[in-house]
Amino acid sequence: MPYTTLAWGSPFVGLLLTIATAPLAVPGIWGRHYGKLVAFWALAFVAPDVLHEGVGAAAGRLLDMGLNTYLPFVLLLGALFVITGGLRIRGAPHGTPGVNTALLAISTAVSSCIGTPGASMLMLRPLVRANRHRARTGHIYVFFIFLVCNIGGALTPLGNPPLFLGYLRGVPFFWPVTHLFVPTLTLAGAVLAVFYAVDRAIYRDPRKDGEILPEIEKLSIDGGVNLLLLLGAAITMMLRTFWSLPGALDLFGIPWSFDDILADALFILLGVLSLKLTHKATRQENAFVWTPIIEISILFAAIFVALIPVDAIMAAGQAGPGHALFNAMFDQGRPVVPLFYLLPGLLSSVLDNAPAYLVFFGLAGDDARLLTGPLALTLAAISAGASYFGAMTYIGNAPNLMVKSIVESYGVKMPNFFAYIAWSGLCLLPLLLAAMALFFR
């Protein structure tokens, strides 16, 4: 193995800490120079790797990562971002506790169908309009982050980026829903029950809580063609589950499978069709801009580059430099399942959940057949921890901060960073631990 010490993982740790802290500590510098900051950490791995292994070996690893992990990941996110940006739900009922609970439940279900970023952008504005007559609404969007930005995406590779990365590594498309449906439904139901109790306690007679607009816009959907394109994205994702295109294109010694080439091309086509077939006015009303997907593309390029040595170290198990962590996570060769739930969850709480998933996927063996077979409970724990715990802080998952920013643009007062943690620690963490006790022992 080329990476014989844990020092090779330093750029990855430095990168994730920068992503977690810089937007809060130095927002101005981060906003203008985030590309340079993350590129520094990517180069902090690439430069020593070239010196240590040579240009050919280092370039081969980068090309393999780019073709087989980064490109399909970014193209899927980009297609979903463009397609959902062309959908707009008009109208909303009055936001009573019962109505809000129903809207959150529907939005949570939508997350696994179109992804947490897409569901967040699609369903947030109707919820804001439904509660425009209420004075205290910040808690509603805290629970929206819990459910729609995180928990709801745990059932399909379309739902949450970590699950898509698992899919790229060989986890079947329907594996998450068959193994996480009951835990996710139980957790979501419990969170919705807590929300209803909280919202009921805060709710006041709307006539005393603010002006009620006399007319509510009729419920309708603009950009309905994008619903068909979303179905196309789902079918594209499922193609390799039911039908495989044999063979691969050899690029400088790196195989690029025809399955991946076809899926990548279809994602591009679906995005282009959405741009062509959606009225510009719909995107303008959605305040559609390219900035979020550009930022995500840049950040994940650096993340995947810096993750190369960490992946190799974890996959080496007891034979590699990560043997101490490996020994702590295993008991007589068997994974300690609660730790494979808690530790990815802890990492997802303060950093991004996609690399957290990859790290522990590698630690558990980096073998989809093993992890979906004899070690299925371990993979379920990793998937759940990475998907659920991203709700613990604003920086745990990318849609969290997007929701906060959009809601505040409507004049709603949202909890600050630490107040949000107080909400999640009180209302969510006990339920996450209860889920571990029930399902991941």
pLDDT for 218 = 62
The 10 Å CB-count burial string (b at 16+, else e) for 90-112 is eebebbbbebbbebbbebbbbbb
Does residue 155 contact residue 192 with C-beta atoms inside 8 Å? no
What 8-state DSSP symbol labels residue 392? G
Instruction: Find the length of the chain.
Output: 441
- Strand pairing of 330-331 and 254-257? unpaired
Look at residues 381, 418, 370, 427 and name the one whose alpha carbon lies nearest to residue 202. Answer: 427
Look at residues 9, 74, 23 and name the one whose alpha carbon lies nearest to residue 354. Answer: 74
Q: pLDDT tens track of the chain, all 441 residues?
A: 688 888 998 998 898 788 878 877 888 998 899 999 999 999 999 999 999 889 999 999 999 999 988 998 889 888 888 898 888 877 667 788 999 999 999 999 998 887 887 788 788 878 888 888 888 899 999 999 999 999 999 998 888 888 988 988 889 989 999 999 999 999 999 999 999 999 999 886 554 444 444 444 566 788 889 989 988 988 887 776 677 778 888 888 899 888 889 999 999 999 999 999 999 998 888 778 788 788 878 988 998 899 889 878 877 777 788 788 778 888 888 899 999 999 999 888 876 687 788 888 988 888 899 999 999 999 999 999 999 999 998 877 778 877 887 788 778 888 887 889 999 999 999 999 999 999 998
Does residue 263 contact residue 74 with C-beta atoms inside 8 Å? no
Per-position DSSP letters for 400-416, written without gaps between them: HHHHHHHHHHTT-----
Amino acid of residue 362: G
The total of other beta-carbon atoms located within 10 Å of residue 189's CB is 13
pLDDT for 19 = 80
Give the rounded distance of the alpha carbon of 349 from its chain centre. 12
